[in-house]
């Protein structure tokens, strides 16, 4: 999908830029993700995604000390001195960049899992394309128009947006701290989250501060827009209430404005502890595309990359401290990811070029601490094009967290991940308890379209409701391609049934989409072999 087409599709039925006490955000009213998450109870699990934009150099992040001699030959101009590498408790031959003292402490405390050499087959070295692959969980040669988190939320709350918000889920389903909602949160039909566009403005919200409108015609219009936004945005009040419930946070965060990632995570902690039942949060830090001046030539432990890793480490440690301070640290698991790693061999500009696999960090009280995988092998002679071979597919990480943290049954993972991926021992086995929450979430809202049997082999019946007027039912494959339109016409209000025959459809996940006036709803279907 072309990026402009994605953004066009991602716009929901109502997209409202709201300015409330200086708080700028976009509410995605057509998103199943936002409203579905309101069903959760305060003990529900939360996932925090940290995107490191640009391609993080994994070999200077998690340093293979047992390969140090060969590593030195490959990247002597950017190499971290082995005497300054931070050792990890219980792990020999591996250490962290000296700027990552906070992450080391979390690891030593049993709250971090390092997954070595994470990537995907046939890696793509374009920032845009590889980012899309990570966000959608597609194959390298496959283009998807829905994100893995969006498909999860559509699975959990299939009736969204009809009948939302409701008592089961009154809050946003997903929140991104940023100017727009990530492709990861794109559902089969619409964006499933909302974006808080400016952390600084958010603090204005929670502190009751609002930039004054100028005494001009434009200022009067701005005042009016603010008033309308305050009255019409469904989620502004719940976000404000959640934020105002927390008046004190941990003092361990760096000074506001000095670490943007910490600023973002501080917001997340406040909303989680304040009672917001949002399932998925996403934050980001850019600047990792270090083709040159990755390190200071006079001291390789300092420089651009060191500053970035320090921000990540400080932010995550402060966030974890804050979650404990606020009493919600058992509810949260987070992970870091970047669109790719860097090459083994450094370049002549004291930097590194686009590479393949790199380590991921998964953190939280519920993680199985330690290191998954082994240090990558560094050859004695390294060519410019040589890459770290993949040990783990990033989609296995996602699938494992969906199953073991967000409690998706293994039988249902294929409808979200679109393939069967290896389960990895990342989350403690006791993290998910038996509950009827999923059933309640599935029943929330108004069900306008369904099919039976599901899965099906030869045929299935699609049942749909029309509220009157033009009604359309379309069938899409998992790449967003329209393959059939079994219903397209004017229907009186009522319930209808149409037979859908398998016309040599390949086995896999498909979507039935109902459109009835301004109403739309998507239901996943599984064609079995």
pLDDT tens track for 290-342: 999 999 999 999 999 999 999 999 999 999 999 999 999 999 999 999 999 99
The predicted pLDDT at position 498 comes to 96
Asked whether residue 403 is assigned to any structural domain, the reply reads no
Count other C-beta atoms under 10 Å from residue 246's C-beta. 17
Residues 60, 11, single domain; the answer is yes
Residues 185, 299, single domain; the answer is yes
Asked whether residue 240 is assigned to any structural domain, the reply reads yes
CATH of the domain at 469: 2.60.40.3080
Residues 22, 58, single domain; the answer is yes
Lowest mean per-residue pLDDT among 69-83, 91-105, 352-366, 504-518:
504-518
Tell me how far apart the alpha carbons of residues 147 and 133 are, in angstroms, rounded to a whole number.
9
Give the pair of three-digit tokens for residue 438: 């999923």
The predicted pLDDT at position 166 comes to 76
Residues 374, 486, single domain; the answer is no
The predicted pLDDT at position 374 comes to 95
Q: Does pLDDT of 225 surpass 70?
A: no
pLDDT tens track for 231-285: 335 667 788 888 889 999 999 999 999 999 999 999 999 999 999 989 999 999 9
The predicted pLDDT at position 430 comes to 80
Q: Does pLDDT of 43 surpass 70?
A: no
Total number of domains constituting the chain: 2
Question: What is the pLDDT confidence band of residue 158, given thresholds at 50, 70 and 90?
Answer: confident
- Of 192, 189, 157, 152, nearest in space to 412 by CA: 152
Asked whether residue 515 is assigned to any structural domain, the reply reads yes
The predicted pLDDT at position 13 comes to 25
- Helices 148-156 + 394-404 axis angle, to 10: 20
What is the overall mean pLDDT for the chain? 85
- Of 373, 406, 408, nearest in space to 391 by CA: 373
Tell me how far apart the alpha carbons of residues 485 and 362 are, in angstroms, rounded to a whole number.
43
Q: For the chain, how long is the longest CA-to-CA vector? A: 76
Asked whether residue 404 is assigned to any structural domain, the reply reads no
Q: Does pLDDT of 429 surpass 60?
A: yes
* Final residue before a domain boundary, out of 400, 424, 440: 440
Contact 280, 293 (CB under 8 A): no
Residues 355, 376, single domain; the answer is yes
Task: Please state the rounded mean pLDDT for residues 66-72.
Answer: 96
The predicted pLDDT at position 244 comes to 87
Element (H, E) at 203: helix 199-206
- The pTM of this model reads 0.83
Contact 306, 299 (CB under 8 A): no
Domain membership of residue 301 as a residue range? 3-381+413-440
The predicted pLDDT at position 216 comes to 57
Lowest mean per-residue pLDDT among 44-48, 119-123, 212-216:
212-216
Residues 479, 434, single domain; the answer is no
DSSP state of 409: -
Q: Does pLDDT of 436 surpass 60?
A: yes
Count other C-beta atoms under 10 Å from residue 437's C-beta. 17
The predicted pLDDT at position 219 comes to 52
Give the pair of three-digit tokens for residue 205: 């919200």
Residues 418, 470, single domain; the answer is no
Asked whether residue 405 is assigned to any structural domain, the reply reads no
Question: What is the pLDDT confidence band of residue 521, given thresholds at 50, 70 and 90?
Answer: confident
Q: Does pLDDT of 522 surpass 90?
A: no
The predicted pLDDT at position 22 comes to 34
Residues 483, 428, single domain; the answer is no
Residues 360, 232, single domain; the answer is yes
Q: Does pLDDT of 214 surpass 90?
A: no
The predicted pLDDT at position 192 comes to 80
How deeply is 151 buried, as exposed, middle or buried, from its count of CB atoms within 10 A (0-12, 13-18, 19+)?
A: buried
Q: Does pLDDT of 224 surpass 70?
A: no
Residues 418, 477, single domain; the answer is no
Q: Does pLDDT of 489 surpass 50?
A: yes
pLDDT, greater one: 471 or 12: 471
Residues 264, 204, single domain; the answer is yes
Residues 426, 466, single domain; the answer is no
């Amino acid at each position: 999908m072309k990026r402009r087409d994605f953004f066009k599709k991602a716009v929901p039925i109502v997209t409202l830029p709201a300015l409330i006490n200086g708080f700028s955000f976009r509410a995605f009213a057509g998103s199943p993700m936002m409203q579905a998450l309101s069903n959760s109870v305060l003990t529900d699990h939360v996932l925090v995604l940290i995107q490191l934009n640009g391609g993080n150099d994994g070999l200077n992040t998690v340093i293979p000390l047992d390969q140090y001699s060969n590593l030195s030959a490959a990247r002597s101009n950017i190499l971290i001195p082995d005497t300054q590498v931070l050792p990890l408790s219980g792990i020999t031959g591996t250490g962290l960049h000296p700027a990552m003292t906070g992450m080391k402490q979390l690891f030593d405390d049993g709250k971090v899992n390092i997954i070595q050499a994470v990537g995907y087959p046939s890696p793509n070295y374009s920032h845009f394309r590889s980012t899309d692959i990570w966000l959608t969980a597609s194959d390298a040669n496959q283009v998807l128009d829905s994100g893995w988190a969006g498909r999860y939320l559509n699975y959990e709350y299939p009736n969204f947006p009809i009948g939302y918000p409701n008592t089961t889920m009154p809050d946003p389903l997903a929140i991104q701290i940023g100017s727009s909602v990530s492709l990861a949160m794109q559902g089969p039909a619409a964006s499933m989250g909302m974006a808080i566009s400016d952390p600084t403005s958010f603090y204005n919200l929670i502190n009751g501060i609002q930039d004054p409108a100028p005494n001009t015609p434009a200022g009067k219009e701005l005042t009016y827009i603010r008033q309308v936004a305050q009255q019409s945005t469904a989620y502004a009040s719940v976000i404000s209430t959640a934020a105002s419930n927390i008046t004190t946070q941990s003092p361990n965060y760096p000074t506001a404005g000095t670490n943007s990632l910490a600023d973002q995570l501080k917001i997340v902690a406040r909303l989680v502890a304040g009672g917001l039942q949002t399932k998925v949060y996403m934050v980001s830090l850019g600047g990792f595309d270090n083709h040159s001046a990755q390190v200071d030539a006079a001291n390789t432990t300092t420089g651009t990359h060191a500053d970035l890793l320090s921000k990540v480490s400080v932010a995550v440690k402060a966030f974890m401290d804050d979650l404990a301070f606020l009493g919600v640290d058992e509810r949260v698991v987070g992970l870091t990811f970047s669109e790719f790693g860097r090459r083994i061999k450094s370049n002549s500009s004291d930097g590194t070029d686009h590479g393949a696999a790199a380590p991921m960090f998964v953190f939280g009280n519920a993680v199985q601490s330690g290191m998954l995988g082994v240090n990558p092998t560094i050859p004695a002679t390294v060519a410019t094009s040589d890459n770290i071979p993949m040990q783990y597919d990033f989609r296995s990480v996602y699938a494992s967290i969906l199953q073991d943290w967000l409690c998706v049954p293994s039988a249902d993972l294929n409808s979200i991940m679109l393939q069967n991926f290896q389960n990895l021992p990342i989350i403690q086995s006791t993290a998910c308890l038996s509950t009827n929450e999923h059933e309640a979430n599935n029943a929330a809202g108004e069900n306008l379209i369904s099919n039976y049997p599901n899965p099906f082999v030869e045929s299935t019946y699609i049942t749909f409701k029309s509220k009157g007027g033009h009604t359309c039912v379309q069938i899409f494959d998992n790449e967003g391609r329209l393959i059939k339109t079994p219903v397209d016409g004017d229907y009186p209000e009522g319930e209808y049934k149409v037979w859908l025959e398998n016309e040599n459809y390949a086995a896999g996940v498909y979507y039935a989409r109902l459109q009835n006036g301004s109403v739309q709803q998507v239901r996943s279907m599984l064609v079995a072999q």
